[in-house]
Structure 1
């Protein structure tokens, strides 16, 4: 049986130096799904790119999404014919796209896709994420049919959260399969 390929799905503005996704890419050879435009993300373009990358993989995949990448997973899963290739997903710090101060360049994302995901997934949320309350994250998890992992007060669960290469997150992802 082929080991699943881990696809990294960064959010708005990509994941920079010190971010757990970047560290996973460097240390483990995970594949970052590069988007055409990280600064003006168009939902349809991002969905198409993810579909292309999933179809290119010879075997199963695991999805490791951060921030807007979580909404990408939900939007992609609602329209893709390739979801059977996904063994599981880790959805980390999804933003509340309905909040009034959501960045205007993300206007294509303000109506969230709330369908249940057709594969196992864990949503990891922080109690002090400036982009999403824990309660809003729990609601997203309910819609998406995911389990919720409360990571405590870790902000947006990014490079500023002090997680390093975040072995606990990797374990959560690998336990999805």
Structure 2
């Protein structure tokens, strides 16, 4: 991802992820938006130049000019030889055309060449499309994240 592409990506990610956070955690969208903005400022303080973070634009190289079809962001843990997918999205107009599977297979091959041993990720429980792509590319469920909000106004 180039510097000039980052702002558009960040705006899109914050908007989409805050809706997911609000839905999954049962909090108002305004609170989710503020939470996601804080997390992004912490996770990517130097934007695309943040150490240990890899942000990529996914393109359809069969088209001239190439078309942007999605994004992939992952965090590298070099000591543990693990990559953790932070965000992976294929735009709705390009879903169901194999771009997700191709991107994950290319990522896997690239990480293997670099000596990585594992790819991890978290997926929302209601995101069936993503779960399908992960299932068919060899990912498996290793646990379930759970959450319970605490009402700080009640003793």
TM-score band, normalised by shorter chain? 0.3 to 0.5
After TM superposition, the score normalised by the length of structure 1 is 0.34
RCO higher in structure (CA 8 A, sep ≥6): 1
Please state which structure has a larger fraction of its residues in helix: 2
Structure number with bigger Rg: 2
Please state which structure has a larger fraction of its residues in strand: 2
